[in-house]
């Protein structure tokens, strides 16, 4: 079944969807709700749109979603600020000698399934503005204090006490989700994954001035990774080499109860890299310390449910979790934001198919369609990290392809919208029967 490339004007469904959080998950859910005929409104705690974060990745399965927006105009805008590795590929180095064991080629460009790696804040701004352009109401500076639902409605309470009512509430409020506690009926705290990343994004000023590092900045975009025991260091230059960005994953057992993003210390990074290829320390030493972030990687076991009133969860089946609030990812999957997008697309299609009178069936079907796939993709973050951190270099010598970043068809070729269109009716019918059995 062909899926339209633009915003097909579907008949209005009369479903008011309240979305909490204007991250990529919430914004995509809202845009897709408009495409499917619903009426979304977003509540976001941030007082204004800010260019926050550093590198973020969207795989081809996300590119397919962006490419359908505004006749491809949104994807073209994202392309302009994203890395272009057509010529350079990905150089994978052995951690100590620095030798390049393989140059992983970049797959040919495909306008239907583009790939984007760029600054999170810049890409986010493009999506945010598109949601506004579509007429999505985005209410900033409103921290949602509580969620509520009845048989016939669901809503939120803002911190100033204002109650907002709709048909569905989507808790896309990120890894520190409040919605999660409400949906589950208990507080599920994230655990430390045992790893953290230091990450930074800065201008190439010092890098290009140094004869040893200017190679990364003078001929366009580059991507290099050094793989070692329990550590990997990924370094890119973007925007024709004018911006530099690196991410270093390393062991870290710190308690992440209170916060997991701190200012980083360059001396600690250098310490971890002391026996590594000296080029790594060279790159690190070009980093302005105030641009260094120490980001603890949180992990949680898959939640038993993402939907209120489903399985063991209390409630009436009108509140759901989406994106990081339902399933945080490790960066080594490079799929966290992409899976949040797939959630939003799937939810919007299934709500249209289920209709205003069967919200519970629609939300249950959303979980049933998404749950297994997301859990499997989540696992790839661990398997890639462990594959890299436990590399047998003798084996890699014989088979250098074995160390490449995995590009798996079952993840990348997935078309979330087409899939929801194809399986939606049957899964909604099954999920609706389970609603009736519980009622």
**Which stretches of the chain bind ligand FAD, using CB under 6 A?**
20-26, 43-46, 52-56, 120, 143-144, 172-174, 178, 323-324, 336-337, 340
CB of 46 to ligand FAD, least distance (A): 5
How far is the C-alpha of 338 from the C-alpha of 414, rounded, in Å? 11
CB of 282 to ligand FAD, least distance (A): 24
CB of 123 to ligand FAD, least distance (A): 9
CB of 372 to ligand FAD, least distance (A): 19
Residues 6+ apart with CB under 8 A from 290: 263
CB of 386 to ligand FAD, least distance (A): 20
Of 199, 352, 360, 370, the active-site residue reads 199
Among residues 27 and 313, whose Cβ is nearest to ligand FAD?
A: 27
Residues 6+ apart with CB under 8 A from 122: 51, 81
CB of 96 to ligand FAD, least distance (A): 28
| 300 counts as catalytic | no
CB of 138 to ligand FAD, least distance (A): 11
Name the E strands within 317-371. 319-321
Among residues 44 and 252, whose Cβ is nearest to ligand FAD?
A: 44
How far is the C-alpha of 116 from the C-alpha of 60, rounded, in Å? 8
Among residues 126 and 428, whose Cβ is nearest to ligand FAD?
A: 126
Structure tokens at 219: 């001929």
Structure tokens at 129: 């503005």
Start-end of H helices in 177-255: 179-184, 205-209
* Beta carbons of 308 and 360 less than 8 angstroms apart: no
> Within a 10 A sphere around the Cβ of 141, how many other Cβ atoms?
10
**Number of residues that this document lists for the chain:** 439
Start-end of H helices in 176-241: 179-184, 205-209
Token pair 């890699």 in the structure block, residue: 396
Among residues 134 and 293, whose Cβ is nearest to ligand FAD?
A: 293
CB of 299 to ligand FAD, least distance (A): 13
Q: How far is CA 113 from CA 48, 67, 79, 208, 413, in A?
A: 31, 7, 12, 33, 9
Among residues 346 and 358, whose Cβ is nearest to ligand FAD?
A: 346
Among residues 51 and 100, whose Cβ is nearest to ligand FAD?
A: 51
Among residues 42 and 279, whose Cβ is nearest to ligand FAD?
A: 42
Q: Which of 319, 318, 338 is nearest to 329 (CA)?
A: 338
Strand partners for 250: 196
Q: What share of the chain is helix, strand, coil (3-state, %, to 5)?
A: 40, 25, 35
Start-end of H helices in 238-335: 266-272, 278-285
* Beta carbons of 31 and 136 less than 8 angstroms apart: yes
Among residues 225 and 336, whose Cβ is nearest to ligand FAD?
A: 336
Decide the pairing of beta strands 137-139 and 292-299: unpaired
Task: Please give the positions annotated as active site.
Answer: 199
């Amino acid at each position: 079944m062909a899926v339209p490339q633009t915003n097909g004007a579907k008949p209005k469904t009369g479903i008011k969807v309240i979305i909490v959080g204007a991250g990529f998950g919430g914004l995509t859910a809202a845009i897709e709700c408009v495409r499917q005929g619903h009426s979304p409104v977003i509540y976001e705690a941030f007082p204004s749109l800010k260019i926050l974060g550093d590198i973020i990745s969207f795989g081809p399965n996300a590119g397919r979603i962006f490419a359908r927006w505004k006749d491809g105009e949104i994807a073209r805008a994202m392309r302009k600020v994203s890395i272009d590795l057509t010529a350079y590929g990905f150089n994978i180095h052995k951690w100590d000698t620095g030798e390049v064991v393989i140059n992983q080629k970049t797959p040919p460009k495909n306008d239907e399934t583009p790939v984007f790696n760029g600054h999170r804040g810049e890409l986010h701004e493009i999506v945010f503005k598109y949601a506004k352009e579509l007429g999505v109401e985005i209410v900033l500076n409103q921290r949602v204090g509580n969620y509520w639902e009845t048989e016939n409605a669901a809503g939120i309470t803002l911190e100033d006490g204002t109650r907002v009512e709709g048909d569905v509430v989507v808790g896309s409020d990120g890894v520190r989700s409040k919605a999660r506690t409400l949906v589950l009926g208990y507080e599920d705290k994230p655990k430390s994954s045992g790893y953290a990343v230091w990450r930074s994004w800065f201008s190439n000023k010092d890098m290009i001035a140094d004869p040893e590092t200017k190679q990364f900045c003078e001929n366009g975009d580059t991507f290099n990774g050094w793989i070692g025991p329990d550590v990997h260091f990924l370094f890119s230059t973007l925007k024709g080499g004018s911006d530099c960005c690196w991410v270093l994953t390393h062991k870290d057992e710190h308690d992440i109860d209170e916060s997991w993003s701190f200012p980083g210390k360059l001396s600690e990074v250098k310490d971890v890299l002391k026996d590594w290829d000296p080029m790594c320390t060279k790159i690190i030493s070009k980093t302005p310390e105030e641009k260094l972030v120490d980001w603890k990687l949180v992990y949680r076991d898959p939640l038993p449910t993402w939907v209120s009133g489903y399985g063991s969860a209390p409630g009436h089946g009108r509140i759901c979790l989406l994106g990081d609030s339902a399933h945080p990812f490790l960066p080594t999957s490079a799929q966290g934001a992409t899976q949040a997008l797939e959630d939003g697309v799937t939810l919007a299609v299934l709500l249209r198919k289920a209709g205003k009178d069967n919200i519970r069936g629609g939300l249950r079907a959303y979980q049933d369609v998404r749950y297994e796939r997301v859990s499997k993709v989540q696992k790839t973050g661990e398997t890639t990290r462990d594959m890299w951190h436990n590399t047998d270099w003798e084996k890699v010598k014989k088979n250098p392809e074995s160390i490449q970043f995995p590009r798996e068809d079952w993840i990348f070729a997935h078309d979330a919208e087409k899939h929801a269109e194809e399986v939606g009716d049957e899964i909604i019918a099954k999920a609706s029967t389970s609603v009736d059995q519980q009622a």
